[in-house]
Amino acid sequence: MVVNRRLAVRLGVLAAVVLLVAGAWRFGLLERLEALHPGRALSGFRLAVRQHVVRSLFLLGGLYVLVTILSLPVAVYLSVLSGFLFGRWLGTGIVVCAASLGAFVLFAFARWLLGRWLRGRLEHQPQAAVLLQGFEGHAFHYLLLLRLIPLFPFWLVNLVPAVTTIRTRDYVVATFLGIIPGSFVFVNFGAHLRRFRLGDPWTAGNLTALGLVVLITLLPLAYRTWKGQPASGRGPTAG
């Protein structure tokens, strides 16, 4: 299982890079990048995105869906990039829709194709076993809590509900609503990077954006401390 997962991660990273480079080449984005001048390169990249807004939107959204399905640990960086390229509101919309779609595809695949085999695997995984117990009660509210507070890895929260009795509609709604706050925080941070100036980085907006990132990163620790649980979980891994 570990070997297969490592292989899947490597293939997923390769596929994501190929997709990104191929899309950038197809739309002429690479011609505007100047590796020796990062500032001009980023400005040129943003200019190319503005000239191909719809194509760039679908390219980034498609890449985000792929990353979510393959459970690659780069979603946070794509969220920041989305904010940098498209701003806080459109960027948040892209991330929330793409992450929800990717999570649903993974959920559907796990529920209707893997089913009983997956449950047998998850029951022997400590974190998954804890999640399975939690879903025995109010599944919708429990999933909504897990989406709002990233107590467990995003990929695990995508898979575990598939082997429970939660309704597909409840899974989709709880996922969509629950990832909005976290997605906004990282996208907003990316949007503020566009206005970042080395001469005066400590503006109120930049400090607020950074503070929100720190807050959501520490939120799982604060929740576990409040509940009296060991702080062994991971930080935010979602979009």
Per-residue pLDDT of the chain (239 residues; tens, 9 = 90+): 444 555 565 666 666 666 766 666 666 655 554 444 445 556 666 677 777 778 888 888 999 999 998 888 888 889 988 998 888 999 999 999 999 999 999 898 888 877 676 766 666 667 777 777 777 778 888 899 889 888 778 878 888 888 888 889 999 999 999 999 999 999 999 888 776 654 555 667 677 877 788 788 777 777 777 766 554 444 454 45
Q: What is the structure's pLDDT at 96?
A: 96
Helix axes 180-193, 204-227, angle to 10 degrees: 150
Q: What is the structure's pLDDT at 174?
A: 92
Helix extents (H) in the chain:
2-26, 38-51, 53-70, 75-86, 88-109, 115-122, 126-134, 139-148, 154-159, 168-178, 180-193, 204-227
Q: What is the structure's pLDDT at 102?
A: 93
Q: What is the structure's pLDDT at 84?
A: 87
Which among 235, 238, 96 has a CA at the least distance from the CA of 158? 238
Question: Looking at the whole model, is its pTM more than 0.75?
Answer: no
Sign of CA dihedral 76, 43, 87, 65: negative
For residues 94, 183, 76 and 139, what is the CA-based torsion angle, rounded to 10 degrees? -110
Q: Classify residue 236 by its DSSP letter.
A: -
Q: What is the structure's pLDDT at 98?
A: 95
